[in-house]
Amino acid sequence: MRRPHIEKLLDPRSLAIVGANDKGNSGARALKGAIASGFKGSIYPVNPNYTALEGLKCYASLLDLPETPDSVVVATPTAGAMKVLAEGEAAGVRSMLFFSGGFADAGTPEGQQRQAEMVALAARSGMIIGGPNCMGIASLKRHFDSSFVSYPGPLKSGGISIVSQSGGLINAFTELGYARGLGFNYLISAGNEAVINAADHLDWLADDEGTQVIVSCLESVKDGPRFRAALARATAVKPVIFLKLGRSLAGQQATLAHTGSLAGDDAVFSAICSQYGATIVYTIDQALEAAAMFARLPLPKGKNVAIFSTSGGATVMTTDLAVDLGLKLPPLTPATNRRMQEIYGAQRPFTNPFDVGSYPLMARGDNMTRTLTTLIDDPSVDFIACAMVVQRDLKGNRMQLFDQIRNVVPGSPKPFVLLPEATAHWRDTPPDIGAHLCASLPDGLFGMRALIEYAKFRRRPSGHANAMTAPFVLRAAPGRTVMTEFESKQVLAQAGLPVTREALTQNVDAASREAIQIGYPVALKIQSPDLMHKTEVGGLALNIADEAALRRAWTHLEGVADRANIKRLDGMLVQEMATPGTEFLIGMKRDPVFGPVVVVSAGGVFVDLLGKDARLRLPPFDLRDVEAMLATSPVMLTLLSEFRGKPPADRAAFARLVCDFGDFVTRLDDTVLAIDLNPVIVSAAGKGVRIVDASIEFASA
């Protein structure tokens, strides 16, 4: 939901610059930039030390202005910034933008207090505040500049909008973008995001007609639910690219044994991007390559890629990199293969990617035209690329080849790119080659994958997540922060999730009676809040076949409990032995920003080995979301399929359980930190699933 008055910050009609001067610092640069931007509204320099600046009347304070400006830029030292903020409130200003640092960025109690006062003022007045500690905002298409960024030259106006929590990286984006001739719209330095944050910028840019692609350089998310909603709304209409900073494991807090470690901070953010079709990049070069391709190319209608080249070595190199990225390179159809043999006079079959033989051969006559037309007309091809060196001098056969490209590519319904065999130096590239030339082979292939994945996201059928039901009130027993397996599974059963038949017993005679009721074979497990990981101390016995074996197991586990020095012993759990099947883990970790996150991975003994293949989703979600998640995991797909004589698992029941579990965790309040269901046994198709072990963890009292 868009904040009231945000248009005054991001599309102002009048602008005041407090701290404007003629000394060349941020205030002076902001004033000159505002004038040079072609801004049509009124510009008011504010500084008591001047009567005029840049030919404009200069005012002593905001209270002296002839009107209340839409937006106020504060380019003063920290000590004066809070006074200007108070003046802005008194003058009825609706938006302010603070270059000033020394707030939360300072890392001091005084800085934190200043920022808290700023946030409180915004809350009571409804004021929109950008920054503090930022470099400002500009829009080339809306012709305003309230920043002090030093741009490398006259930037081209275009459809790429950049939002960066790092001000310095705005310079890097514009330097590289200028060198590549890319067109920008919004350039937003977000700073501390004390009031306006990433969710607000996504909301605005999603609706902005001048923005085709959103690129966000993000260190942290301030408001998880609003960010999630804004991202979902944005990616539904245009691509969003994140350069995520701070992806290391440092600072991650693991809760239960596996769920916490599998759902680290970066894993959660990656899951959100996957869930909502956003692209994650790792360098500025990747960000701008993907953005340029999104802005210039149609989205592919499928995932099949055809690549050709003029060099055998380039063909092999491209193939290796494309396979590493997971691009789909299906064999050419027989008809297309025959056509390529005709075009290039070859008797050999053509693979994909394929080498046409040489640059002169590809340029000869209308060979390039016929190659492109054949691939465009082939319904089994969705994305076309040519790997070759693009040289500055377009004479002779070089000119002939690019003339053919210009005759075909601009009207193509399929995306086509040129992949350089080595990094393309933009100053040495011809100005018009008729197609998008990628900056490098790896970044080009990465960008191709980004378009394919986003197009797939946009094609997905719209669905509805499980309907929210009444809250599920859940509390740990006094003095405990965890529930035992028995306690946890009682809760899960109450929520309608499939658990094993079992009973908590206090003596071996009771255990024997329960085992008869359940039916042998059974399992026997120590139940204690002090022993959440029973296998580590041998606190369970499996496949107990009869009463004699049960009594021996009871005696053995009593000894285990004594040796483990367990102080709180609730008893022994007698449990049915689940039907054999494949073991999975389903869990929930409560992320401090985004709330509950559902984790799915190989379980049981496999979780430590295969846990890196875990998949995450933010509930609520529907069955289509679960199937999409499973489809991205080769490990889980293999475990669920027929494998080495094992029948296929009950994938439908497993997906249903994941979906129901996601619905369940949305009903819990934030006192529940984590849940582990491990293992979950998925039996053969049609035989269902069972939660064999479980634990629930709460926040400390």
Buried b (16+ CB within 10 A) or exposed e, 3-39: beebbbbbbbebbbbbbbbbeeebbbbbbbbbeebeb
Antiparallel, parallel or unpaired: β 240-244 and 305-309: unpaired
Q: Which superfamily is assigned to 582-698 in CATH? A: ATP-grasp fold, B domain (3.30.470.20)
pLDDT of residue 220: 87
State the DSSP code for 529.
T
* Dist CA 44 CA 53 (whole Å): 9
DSSP string spanning 411-451? G-SS-EEEEPSS---GGGS-S--SSEEPSSHHHHHHHHHHH
The answer to whether 429 touches 385, Cβ cutoff 8 Å, is: no
* Dist CA 452 CA 229 (whole Å): 23
- Paired with 689 in beta bridges are 682
Mean pLDDT in each 10-residue stretch from start to end of the chain (701 residues)?
A: 90 98 95 96 97 97 97 95 96 96 92 96 96 96 94 94 93 93 96 95 97 95 93 97 77 42 71 95 97 97 97 94 97 97 94 93 95 97 94 76 93 95 75 88 98 95 63 84 94 96 96 96 94 85 96 94 88 93 94 93 69 85 91 90 86 96 94 94 95 92 58
Radius of gyration of the CA atoms of the chain, in A: 31
CATH: 3.40.50.720, 3.10.290.10, 3.40.640.10, 3.30.365.10. Which one for 6-239+278-292? 3.40.50.720
Domain ranges of the chain: 6-239+278-292, 298-459, 501-576, 582-698
pLDDT of residue 426: 67
* Dist CA 597 CA 425 (whole Å): 44
pLDDT of residue 258: 41
* Dist CA 169 CA 242 (whole Å): 13
Burial class (CB in 10 A: 0-12, 13-18, 19+), 536: exposed
- What does pTM read for this prediction? 0.92
Phi, psi of 371 (to 5 degrees): -65, -50
pLDDT of residue 260: 45
Distance of CA 411 to the CA centre of its chain: 33
* Dist CA 449 CA 383 (whole Å): 10
pLDDT of residue 472: 86
pLDDT of residue 153: 86
State the DSSP code for 381.
-
Q: Which amino acid, 542?
A: L
pLDDT of residue 397: 76
* Dist CA 73 CA 636 (whole Å): 53
* Dist CA 12 CA 139 (whole Å): 11
Buried b (16+ CB within 10 A) or exposed e, 547-568: eebbeebbeebeebbeebebee
Q: Tell me which CATH code domain 298-459 carries.
A: 3.40.50.261
Distance of CA 318 to the CA centre of its chain: 27
What is each CA distance from 605 to 527, 583, 611, 684, in whole angstroms? 21, 8, 10, 19
Tokens of 553: 């197991």
Buried b (16+ CB within 10 A) or exposed e, 361-393: bbbbebbbbbbbbbbbebeebbbbbbbbebeee
State the DSSP code for 104.
G
DSSP string spanning 216-266? EEES--S-HHHHHHHHHHHHTTS-EEEEE---SSTT----STTHHHHT-HH
Q: Which of 599, 604, 568 is nearest to 584 (CA)?
A: 604
Q: Which of 200, 77, 63 is nearest to 129 (CA)?
A: 200
pLDDT of residue 18: 98
Fold of 501-576: Dna Ligase; domain 1 (3.30.1490)
Buried b (16+ CB within 10 A) or exposed e, 173-193: bbebbbebebbbbbbbbbbbb
Q: Which of 229, 227, 253 is nearest to 242 (CA)?
A: 227
SS (H, E, C) 154-184: CCEEEEEEEEECCHHHHHHHHHHHHHHCCEE
Q: Which of 271, 264, 263 is nearest to 242 (CA)?
A: 271
- The answer to whether 6-239+278-292 and 298-459 have equal CATH topology is yes
